[in-house]
Amino acid sequence: MSSSTVITNIATLVTNDPSSGDGSPLGLIQDAAVVIDGDRIAWTGESSKAPATDNRVDAGGRAVLPGFVDSHSHLVFAGDRTQEFNARMSGRSYTAGGIRTTVAATRAASDEDLEANLTHYLAEALRQGTTTFETKSGYGLTVEDEARALRIAARHTDEVTYLGAHIVSPDYADDPAAYVALVTGEMLDACAPHARWIDVFCEKGAFDGDQARAILTAGRAKGLHPRIHANQLSYGPGVQLAVELDAASADHCTHLTDTDVDALANSDTVATLLPGAEFSTRAQWPDARRLLDAGATVALSTDCNPGSSFTSSVPFCIALAVRDMRMTPDEAVWSATAGGAAALRRTDIGRLAPGAFADLTLLDAPSHVHLAYRPGVPLVDGVWRRGVRVA
């Protein structure tokens, strides 16, 4: 029989279960307790009503929320791009071209070095409360290098995304059509067994709408589900294509027309906002308020990668979203937990309700609002993953 643990004396519990607690989307319970049985949540409610269990943890009058679901990262890479960042902070602008620097470093790295790098950033993210992460290939751009990136990623997460279509490989600079044929043919065959998702960077300097449609459709035929890097650097067809193909997520969504916003609001495609990218590229902020007011589902993620957003910190992204994207603290916390789960089409994570995975974060603060109220302060004080305390 699995052992059970009760966490008591929780000042504020975020359940993301509107049927419990205060009835808000966050399903807040004050003076709460959570019971964990094995790897699942067994019970949530008021502390005074908590059932007896084998083990007891005192939260000390602090806040507990679901572990963060980082539904967009690029963590299989080698090297860094400090010089490019420095140049940007001196006035240079961000382009997709910098990706080539990381492609060269990644191709040159051993499997061991790539995995050690991935493990390093995963541990960093876990310490900051991330209990689920999605990650992508996209810095190999050959059949072998893309497949090995996915094999390495799949050893650490179920949420693996094939992004052979990050940019046209430098080896095919003179023949992009041949590269699209590779991405939808031999490379897809080698990669599909290791991935759940297929992604494409639909942008000037990367892939246009027709190429993106061909790539995602080919992936779908091999059992991969689409998600898209859409409308990051300019207006374009990415968001509309995401909705047309019922992609789980349109990521970035920085440059949106009213039609794009309407399309998202009337679809199951989540708008995943990545404010670390706008921070690190000094770009305009995505308009989260406009999306939320229209009724779209919004997720918040890090986009952690060495080029456009080298942060693994979801709390940092929450603070940016509240300060600069006009989200309320409640909305930002929901988007970084339940929103991320929606962007991965998951209901077993991102919420603390009976039956869900016991992925929890304990804050050294009395409420989740402190994640935005106390920016830059390492507030995550405990992390449970699948019922086991891991930080």
In three-state secondary structure terms, 320 is helix
Order the strands of the 225-230 sheet from edge to edge: 135-136, 160-165, 197-202, 225-230, 249-252, 270-273, 298-300
By CB under 6 A, the residues from 250 to 289 that bind ligand NIG are 277
- Stretch binding Fe ion (CB under 5 A), from 160-168, 205-213, 296-304, 373-381: 296-304
Partner in contact with 44, chosen from Fe ion, ligand NIG, none, beta carbon below 5 to 8 Å by kind: none
Q: In whole angstroms, how close is the CB of 95 to ligand NIG at the nearest point?
A: 9
Tell whether residue 232 is among the known ligand binding residues: yes
Q: How far is the CB of 141 from ligand NIG (least distance, A)?
A: 12
Annotated ligand binding at 74? The verdict is yes
Residue 331 Cα distances to 184, 319, 321, 328, angstroms: 38, 11, 9, 5
| Residue 277 contact partner, candidates ligand NIG, Fe ion, none, CB within 5 to 8 A by sort of partner | ligand NIG
| Span near Fe ion by CB under 5 A; candidates 40-48, 63-71, 79-87, 299-307 | 299-307
Q: Per CB under 6 A, does 308 bind ligand NIG?
A: yes
Give the Cα-Cα-Cα angle 270, 272, 277 (nearest 5 degrees). Answer: 165
Which amino acid appears at position 237 of this protein? P
CA 180 – CA 222 distance, rounded (Å): 16
Tokens standing for 11?
A: 């000042």
DSSP secondary structure code for residue 309 in this structure:
B
**Least Å from the CB of residue 74 to Fe ion:** 6
Q: Which is nearer to Fe ion, 303 or 331 (CB)?
A: 303
Q: How far is the CB of 284 from ligand NIG (least distance, A)?
A: 14
Give the span between the Cα atoms of 334 and 351, in whole angstroms.
9
Query: Shortest Cβ distance from residue 333 to Fe ion (Å)?
Result: 22
Residue 228 makes contact with ligand NIG by CB under 6 A? no
Q: What angle do CA 174, 207, 229 make, to 5 degrees?
A: 145
Q: Give the Cα separation of 59 and 113 in Å (integer).
A: 38
* Stretch 67-96 residues interacting with ligand NIG (CB under 6 A): 74
Work out which of 70, 159, 199, 303 binds Fe ion, going by CB under 5 A.
303
99 is a site residue for ligand NIG (CB under 6 A): yes
Is 373 assigned a ligand-binding role in the annotation? no
Nearest CA to 182 out of 196, 201, 199, 169 is that of: 169
- List residues near ligand NIG by CB under 6 A: 74, 98-99, 102, 201, 229, 232, 277, 303, 305, 307-309
**Binding residue positions for Zn(2+):** 72, 74, 229, 303
